[in-house]
Amino acid sequence: MKHPISYLYNTVFIPKKSLQICIVGGGFGGLFTALYLSNYTRLIKSLRLRIILIDQKEYFLFTPLLYELLTQEVESCEITPTFENLFANTAVEFCHDTVEVVDLDQRQIKLRSHKQITYDHLVLAVGQQTRLDAIFGVTDYAYAFRSLADAERLMQKLESLETDSEKYIQVAVVGAGGNGVELACKLANRLQNRGQVYLIDRRQKILRDFSFACQKAAHRALIACGVKLDLGTQIKNITANQITLSKNQQTYTLAVDLIIWTIGTQNWEWLDNLNCQQNPQKKLLVRPTLQLLDYPEVFAVGDIAAILHPDKQKVPATAQAALQQARTAASNLRASLTGKPLKVFCYHHLGEMMTLGINAGIVFCCGICLEGAIAYTIRRWACVLRLPTFSHRLRVCRHLFNSALRKLWVI
C-alpha cells in the first residue's frame, strides 16, 4: 500500500526522521557532489535530507592552479575558498574533522574528535596521497607537491635558498608526468639564471598519458625554460644534498639543493581496513553507477574509485574525471532516493590544458593545439570558470581585474 502522505507530496514518501547523506572529502569529487545535491531543493525539503560534508581541511583546494603560487601568479585565497563560504546559502553542512574509521556494516563514521556520525547514504571522495616510500631517502629528503601545505613548505625552502645571492640553486624534479613537467617549467622561470632545474624520469618519454601534440609542445617549453631533461634514468637513492642516478648501466651522482617527488600515489592507511573490495592498487572497486560492489548505499568518486566498466573504459585520476563522477553520483543518489533507475558513468575526455611557465601554456582540444600566451590565458579563464561557486568566481574575477589595473598603473 502506498504511504498516505505520498499522495500529498506527488508520490514522494516522507520519512519519519530526516535522511542523512554524508560526503567524506571535499575535493573535486566530494565538493561538487555536495554542490550538485544542494540544487535538488524540492527533494531536500520533501525527504528532509541532511547533507553533511566532512573534510580535514577548512578549504577546498583548486589543484590545477597550485603551481602558480610558486611564481606568485595567483594568491592562495583564489585557489582555497573556505567550505564555510562555499556552502553559505546552501543545504550543505560542513564538518571540519578527520575520518578515521568507516564501518560500512553499521553505517557509521568515526572521527578524530571521537564523534560518530551515522549515515543513510555515503559518498567516499578522499583522494590519494603521494607515495614517498618507493626509494631510500625520499621520505626524509624529498618534497611532495600535492597540497597547500606542500606548496608553502616548498616556497619556504626556495626563499631560504634564494637569500644567499651567491648561491647557484640546483633543483631536481622527479617524474615527467603532468605534475613534474608543469612544476619544472614554473621553477625554472622562478630561478632564471640563479639556478638549474633537472627533470628526471626512468622512461624515455615525458607526459606518457598525454596526446602527442602535448608531449611535443611541453618538450619545446621545457627546453625554452632551460630545464635539463634526464630521461631513461633510474633513481637509486637520495640523501640531503645528493641524488644517485643510473643511466645506460652507469651510476653517477648529482649535487642538489632541493628534490621534488611527483611520482606514485597511495591510499590513506585507514582505507585498508574498509570492508569492501579493492583492486591491486587498493582503489575501491565500484559498479558503473559508482556504488561500492557490496554496499549500494555507498558511492565512491574521484581518485580513490576504480570503475568496473563493462567496456573497460579507462578513467584517469584527474579533476576532470572527478567532476564528471560528482555529477553522476549526485544524480544517482537522487535516483536511489526516488526509486528511479541509476545512470551508468561514462567518462568524456574534454581535452588537455597545462601551464608551462609564466605566461606560457598549452591547450589541446578537438584536435586543435594552442601554445604560448594565448593558451595560458585560455587555461587561466577556463580555471576561473571551473571554480566551485558563482560568488567565488566573481571574487577571483574582481581580484584579477584589480591586479591587471595595478600592473597598468605601474607601467
Ligand X SMILES: Cc1cc2nc3c(=O)[nH]c(=O)nc-3n(C[C@H](O)[C@H](O)[C@H](O)COP(=O)(O)OP(=O)(O)OC[C@H]3O[C@@H](n4cnc5c(N)ncnc54)[C@H](O)[C@@H]3O)c2cc1C
Length of the chain: 411
Query: Whose Cβ is closer to ligand X: residue 135's or residue 181's?
Result: 181
**Region of 38-46, 187-195, 313-321, 343-351 interacting with ligand X (CB under 6 A):** 313-321
Determine if 27 is a binding residue for ligand X (CB under 6 A).
yes
Residue nearest to ligand X (CB): 27
Q: Which of 37, 126, 199, 284 binds ligand X (CB under 6 A)?
A: 126
User: For the chain, first and last CA: distance in Å?
Assistant: 76
**Region of 15-23, 184-192, 241-249, 315-323 interacting with ligand X (CB under 6 A):** 315-323
Determine if 81 is a binding residue for ligand X (CB under 6 A).
no
Determine if 268 is a binding residue for ligand X (CB under 6 A).
yes
The bridge status of strand 361-365 relative to strand 368-371 is antiparallel
Burial status of residue 229 (CB atoms within 10 A of its CB: 0-12, 13-18, 19 or more):
middle
> Is 119 within 8 Å of 53 (Cβ atoms)?
no
**Region of 49-57, 156-164, 240-248, 384-392 interacting with ligand X (CB under 6 A):** 49-57
Minimum distance from residue 319 beta carbon to ligand X (Å): 4
Minimum distance from residue 66 beta carbon to ligand X (Å): 4
Return the residues of window 177-236 that contact ligand X according to CB under 6 A: 179
Minimum distance from residue 99 beta carbon to ligand X (Å): 4
Query: Whose Cβ is closer to ligand X: residue 137's or residue 361's?
Result: 361
Per-residue x/- mask for ligand X, residues 85 to 114, rule CB under 6 A?
A: -------------xx---------------
Q: Which of 200, 207, 225, 322 binds ligand X (CB under 6 A)?
A: 322
Interacting residues with ligand X (CB under 6 A): 24-30, 54-57, 63-64, 66, 98-99, 125-127, 145-146, 179, 268, 302-303, 317-320, 322
